[in-house]
Amino acid sequence: MLNYGKCLVILKQVYVIFVCSMLFLYGLYYNINSLLSSESNIHNHRDDIDSTVNQLYSNDNLTWDGLIKDCGSYVIIENSARANEIFNRKYAKQIVEWKGYFLNAFVQDFNPFEFNPEHLVNINVRMIPSESIHNPDLFLSMNNLKYKKYGSVIRSLVTGTPIKFKAEFESLGNEWKPHHLHLLHIEKTDEFIDPNDKIVLFKGIAFNITGHLKNEKEMETLIVSKKENNLKESGGNNKSQDN
């Protein structure tokens, strides 16, 4: 009788273990199935979002007014994540051909650790409508070869000269810094705003033509400094290899 009782206890334990195992396996199956289904729904939802966003923001005719509306300074202030999302989808690395007004030109400061030859010379541009009272709306960067190609045009520009430019978008600006583009082409163009509006637009802003000469001297100094720095680095590397 005692052995029979032990068998009953063992059978009960086996039954309990079996039931628990089945419940565990069912729970595991249910959770895995739910997870896969959830990931599938999320993936499909993301595809729907991407499709909707692409439909909303796909536009081959990119305009300055459209940029202000899509991801201008006011949009950035309200929702910077949304502004950057739109910029990355619609404007980043896109080529635009716009009109604006020349403000001034500047040469980048020499930094041996962050020197970018593609940003050697930069042109500040005021757009219409402008998003700033005193600061440029965007700036156009160029390397030495591009500057030599359009040097005669650039040297003839003074503050307020209307220009037409073709450029590739590099980065989005914000309420403190202008948008950044790489210059592909630049030329003078006809006036495209009322003279009275232009006076208001450039009130308090002055630029001397000799500024171009200063920029060219700074550019030459910058190029020489970069070459000397490269020679020093190559000399140091050669010494290290000799050792």
**Residue 29 belongs to a domain:** no
Highest average pLDDT, of 35-44, 125-134, 233-242, comes from: 125-134
Q: What is the CATH number of the domain that holds 216?
A: 2.40.50.140
The SS3 call for residue 164 is strand
CA angle 98, 102, 104 (to 5 degrees): 140
* 176 phi, psi to nearest 5 deg: -110, -30
Instruction: Return the pLDDT at 2.
Output: 45
Classify 109 in phi/psi space as left (phi over 0), alpha (psi -120 to 50) or beta.
beta
**Residue 228 belongs to a domain:** yes
Give the predicted TM-score (pTM) of the model. Answer: 0.68
Q: What is the mean pLDDT of residues 31-43?
A: 62
What are 172-198's pLDDT values in tens digits? Answer: 998 889 999 999 999 999 999 988 888
- Domain ranges, residue 191: 93-234
Tally the C-alpha atoms within 13 A of residue 165's C-alpha that lie toward its C-beta: 29
Six-digit token string for 163: 């220009």
Q: What average pLDDT does the structure give for the chain?
A: 80
**Residue 230 belongs to a domain:** yes
Six-digit token string for 94: 């896109």
Lowest mean pLDDT among 125-134, 139-148, 210-219, 229-238: 229-238
**Residue 106 belongs to a domain:** yes
Q: Does the pLDDT value for residue 151 go beyond 60?
A: yes
**Residue 22 belongs to a domain:** no
Counting the structural domains of the chain, the total is 1
CA angle 207, 208, 211 (to 5 degrees): 100
What are 53-92's pLDDT values in tens digits? Answer: 455 555 558 999 999 999 998 899 999 999 999 999 999 9
Instruction: Return the pLDDT at 183.
Output: 97
Instruction: Return the pLDDT at 240.
Output: 57
**Residue 226 belongs to a domain:** yes
